[in-house]
Amino acid sequence: MYEDFASTLAATMWADFDETPRRADGPLAEITDLGTVVVDGNFPWTIVTVETSEGVTGIGECYPSPGVHQIITDYLRPVLVGENPADVERLYNLMRESLSGRGSQQGIGTIAISGVEIALWDATGKLLGQPVYQLLGGKMREEVTVYADCHAGEAMVESAEEGQATETYEPEAYAAAAQAAVDDGFDIVKFDLDVPSGREFDTLSRHFDPPEIKHKRRVVEAVTGEVGHDAEVAVDLHWNFSPETVERLCRALEPYDIAWIEDPLPPENGDAIRELKRRVNATILTGENRYGRHGFRDLIEGQAVDFLAPDVPKTGGIAETKKIADMAEAYYQALVPHNIGSPVATAATAHVGATVPNFVALEYHAREVPWWEDLLVRDEPFIENGRIQIPDGPGLGIELDWDVVEEHQKE
């Protein structure tokens, strides 16, 4: 008799309990359409739109990748049209299930889902009149630090003050570009070190001989010498070095107190990265080629790196990145998210950074795109003195200038 009573009581309770945001007459809204537009920036930024029955449009962004438009319009649109956009977590899992045989665990499927997930959060925030950070539990900081990726080669030289840069890959060019970023207010700068030195040699083995190591050391010496204590300096190896070469490089760079060494080894082998961290005296960062919390589990549980670099429009979206941060916090690891996107991806990442304690800085990779901020309708700069004030408006708290988007649209 007691079991029957308990079952009846539970059924009654759950029948009355519904977490889905609703109006008095039904769901908050319905999704009516999904679309994409590609902006031709220094990368092809794929902007995602989620239209709703209430006239509210959510915007998101996918990591640059061919085929994303087809996945969103051909596979995800039929799944999501008619659904309540505020059911973000349920719809995220529904999209993963619908693409289970087409790469929803990692790769292009996850990239497409990430962009839609961001747009769902934006739409939900606008429908509820709340910023995304509030929907995630509230903000811990009013602003997030942004670091400047100063690139290499021609793009780097063009971003330096005119007349300062010399040869494209010479240390003096790096130093000039670093100082230009510091003058703009950034107190963390990053450079690629997997760059030509002027010598011909086989790079496939990932082995760099002593003259190559010396070239990398000279670059770091020039940059740190130029900026002094005005900025931290990080370097990116783009998975192009072998363990023995990275060890030698780390020893060569020890005197310069590098903020972090990014992606020193190929991304597939967490054991190799953990062993490298054990052997070197350097701060190691990786993660932009990992997908979802499951893809970061070995790096976190094995404490294989110091900093994790998930890419919000690539790894699963806003909520998934926050879950990665929560997992990492248990092991005292911090987030330094990868970001090569437009202001949409940047704002999404900033909202994550506002809501987790273990956040260091997010990447800004478009200093050579003069119209990057013109994509937004706002009076104040979005990035100022190397900081982003967390937007307090509904959703992501930003609005795109669609005329500027159209002006730079990639057909």
Question: Whole-angstrom Cα distance, residue 177 to residue 182?
Answer: 9
Residues of the chain with CATH 3.20.20.120: 135-400
Residues of the chain with CATH 3.30.390.10: 23-129
- Report pLDDT for 288: 96
- Report pLDDT for 18: 44
Name the residue with tokens 């811990």: 140
User: In this structure, which CATH number among 3.40.120.10, 3.20.20.120, 3.50.50.60, 1.10.10.10 belongs to the domain 135-400?
Assistant: 3.20.20.120
Dmax (CA) of the chain: 88
| Region of residue 375 (left: phi > 0; alpha: psi -120 to 50; beta: else) | alpha
- Report pLDDT for 201: 81
Binned average pLDDT, 10 residues per bin, the chain of 411 residues: 39 40 68 97 96 98 95 96 97 95 84 98 98 97 97 49 53 92 96 87 88 94 96 96 96 96 94 96 96 96 97 98 98 98 98 98 95 96 97 98 97 79
| Cα dihedral 306/352/321/44 (nearest 10) | -100
Fold held by 23-129: Enolase-like; domain 1 (3.30.390)
Question: Whole-angstrom Cα distance, residue 365 to residue 152?
Answer: 12
- Report pLDDT for 7: 42
Number of C-beta neighbours around residue 225 at 10 A: 12
Structure tokens at 390: 């967390």
- Report pLDDT for 22: 56
Question: Whole-angstrom Cα distance, residue 11 to residue 17?
Answer: 10
- Range 77-82, long-range pairs (CB < 8 A, 24+ positions): 77/33, 77/34, 80/31, 80/34, 80/50, 80/116, 81/30, 81/31, 81/32, 81/33, 81/34, 82/30, 82/31
